A and B are shown apart, each in its own frame.
Chain A
């Protein structure tokens, strides 16, 4: 997605639920990376997922209180579509999402 106003890209992606190739929920878009592809034109470069990506968005006092947390970076090339949800082109495991959930699934024998 390209736009002259980066806020339009942020509105379209931030806080959108993520589903992977198998239609499983695997997080929420916590932050985005933008690239200025030509003067005044911005494009989505990647989405960031996980508490580590909250750094720019949460109050400073909270950032100071929380330890350094992990964020997963998903490049634009791995995003299939973005409408009501952001759909990925690969399974969550391949892009490193939903790690705790996958560990628990294995533990509990879920699918």
Chain B
């Protein structure tokens, strides 16, 4: 394990953990239900760690990325359904990220939303085309660490630690009406989805194969997924706590990104707002690039095209065409005028529906002693894997009815 590589990997994971859907949902959850949903963030983070570590281990041992595994395990038809579902949900997520970046840029510059969305998409495409992959990953991930201003703001605002600790215990707040109970249920499902987005695993596993991970990298994979994702989850908890402490009691509903960036401003004034905006800008920009590449990885691996960002774009023409088309379609979605929060809503609902099909092949491959040899899932990986798989299936079944009954949590 190389200490510098590991530290950078962890920092990148932390900076890259937060995306627009998490920002929207954790802030709304905190403003509406106080600290009562912190346990969901913790639970879903353990889930994404279990599957993230598994996908990295499979990549290191079998040298196979996720969509190659999905096609092999599920076959052409069911694998194809997973591909289409994954592509649609990740495309909508990419559009939400581009819209989020445009909103932040609009707050910073006062320019036209659509023009800024087009400009941001052009910059993302240019950076994928021109910059080495490590630079893209590290620069967006590390710049995303400016998000730590939210953690500093929470500490400066003297949070109620006992309430935060109580939020770690799974419970339904007392005195909720039937309608509130449904909205609470919707937020449970939405937070699980926002933290366990399938694109994160498509991206992570493909990165492992591109970096030619071998058994020697298994410790790095384990530490990066456990420490990086845990620290990233802490950031999500910070956002929820800030919304619970500062927005909810003031009756502010953080349905717009602008409300979220108010929070560091409460502690540090104008500088806090600017740093908050810059942190969100880089974190969401990084997520836009990840979602776009995740779709290009998925389709290329499914059909056996040449793929990878370690090669020049002209050496992987169909892969290159794929990510250019994803950016173009995502921008077209933004240009339809759909609100970013609505896009984030659609993204989490679509993603949770796709999650069971994306995670099942991982579990089957991880449990396969022929494929994994001495790195086959141990008893704990196996148990935790099936436990979280059951949870994801339950969430997937509940997602659409809860979305419809609560009008996307807006009741």
Beta-carbon contact of B75 and A57 below 8 Å: yes
Query: Is there an interface contact between A15 and B315, defined as CB atoms closer than 8 Å?
Result: no
Chain B interface: which size bin? 20 to 34
A98 to B303, CA, bound (A): 10
A57-B75, A57-B77, A84-B62 as given contacts; A17 in contact with B304, CB under 8 Å: yes
Q: Is the CB of B314 within 8 A of A109?
A: yes
Which residues of B have CB within 8 Å of A104? 317-318, 321
Q: Which residues of B contact A26 (CB under 8 A)?
A: 304
CB-defined contacts of A24 to chain B, threshold 8 Å: 306
Pick the most buried of A24, A58, A108: most chain B CB atoms within 10 A of its CB.
A108
At the interface, yes or no: B76 with Cβ under 8 Å from chain A? yes
CB-CB under 8 A from B68, the residues of chain A are 17
In contact, A84 and B317 (Cβ under 8 angstroms):
no
Interface residues of B in 314-365 (CB under 8 A from A): 314-318, 320-321
The minimal Cβ–Cβ distance linking A29 to chain B, given in whole angstroms, is 9
- Counting CB contacts under 8 A, is A46 at the interface? no
Main secondary structure of the interface of B (DSSP, over half): helix
Q: A27-B304, A58-B77, A110-B312 given as contacts; is B321 within 8 A of A16 (CB)?
A: no
Interface residues of B in 273-312 (CB under 8 A from A): 301-307, 312
* A14 with B304: CB separation less than 8 A: no
B71 within 8 A of A: yes
Cβ–Cβ contact A110 & B303, under 8 A: no
Partner of A105, one of B63, B303, B317: B317
Residues in chain B near residue A101, CB distance under 8 A = 305-306, 317-318
Q: In the bound complex, do residue A108 and residue B76 qualify as a contact, i.e. CB atoms below 8 Å apart?
A: no
Are the CB atoms of B77 and A108 closer together than 8 Å?
no
Q: Contact check, A110 vs B314: say whether CB atoms are below 8 A apart.
A: yes
Verify if A71 is at the interface (C-beta below 8 Å from B).
no
CB-based contact B77/A59 at 8 Å: yes
CB of B64 closer than 8 Å to a CB of A? yes
How many chain A residues have a CB neighbour from B under 8 Å? 26
**Contact code string A23-36 (vs B, CB < 8 Å = 1, else 0):** 01111101000000
Q: Please give, as numbers and ranges, the residues of chain A lying within 8 Å of B316 by CB-CB distance.
A: 110
- A1-31 interface code vs B (CB 8 A; 1 in, 0 out): 0000000000000111110000011111010
**Complex contacts, A54 vs chain B, CB 8 Å:** 76
Residues of B within 8 A of A68 (CB): none
- Nearest to A16 among chain B residues (CB) is B72
Is the beta-carbon distance between B304 and A18 smaller than 8 angstroms? yes
B79 touches A (CB below 8 Å): yes
Residue from B304, B305, B317 in contact with A108 in the complex, judged by beta carbons closer than 8 Å: B317
1/0 per residue, CB under 8 A from B, across A81-105: the answer is 0001000000000000010110011
Given contacts A25-B306, A57-B76, A110-B312, contact A15 B317 (CB under 8 A): no
Identify the closest chain B residue to A49 (Cβ). B304
Q: B306 to chain A: which residues have CB within 8 Å?
A: 24-25, 98, 101
State the CA gap A25–B63 with chains docked (Å): 13
Min CB–CB distance A56 → chain B (angstroms): 10
With both beta carbons as reference points, the residue of chain A lying nearest to B64 in the complex is identified as: A84
Complex CA gap A58/B160 in Å reads 57
B321 contacts across to A, CB distance below 8 A: 104
Residues in A whose Cβ lies below 8 Å from that of B318: 100-101, 104
Whether B79 pairs with A15 at a CB distance below 8 angstroms is yes
Report Cα–Cα, A100/B316, bound state, in Å: 12
Q: What's the minimum C-beta distance from B129 to chain A, rounded to whole angstroms? A: 12
A107–B318 alpha-carbon span in the complex (Å)? 12
- Measured in the bound complex, the distance between the Cα atoms of B314 and A54 in whole Å is 29
In the complex, what's the smallest C-beta–C-beta distance from A79 to chain B, in angstroms? 15
Contact A15 B63 (CB under 8 A): no
Partner of A15, one of B75, B312, B314: B75
A14 with B75: CB separation less than 8 A: yes
Question: What B residues does A30 contact at CB under 8 A?
Answer: 76
A104 to B313, CA, bound (A): 11
Which positions in A face B, CB cutoff 8 Å?
A: 14-18, 24-28, 30, 54, 57-59, 84, 98, 100-101, 104-105, 107-111
Q: A14-B75, A108-B320 are in contact. List 6 more A-B contacts (CB 8 A).
A: A28-B304, A84-B62, A98-B306, A104-B321, A108-B313, A110-B314
Chain B positions within 8 Å of A, measured between CB atoms, are 62-64, 68, 71-72, 75-77, 79-80, 301-307, 312-318, 320-321
Could you list some 9 contacts between A and B, CB below 8 A?
Answer: A15-B75, A17-B64, A24-B306, A27-B303, A58-B77, A59-B77, A107-B317, A108-B317, A110-B314
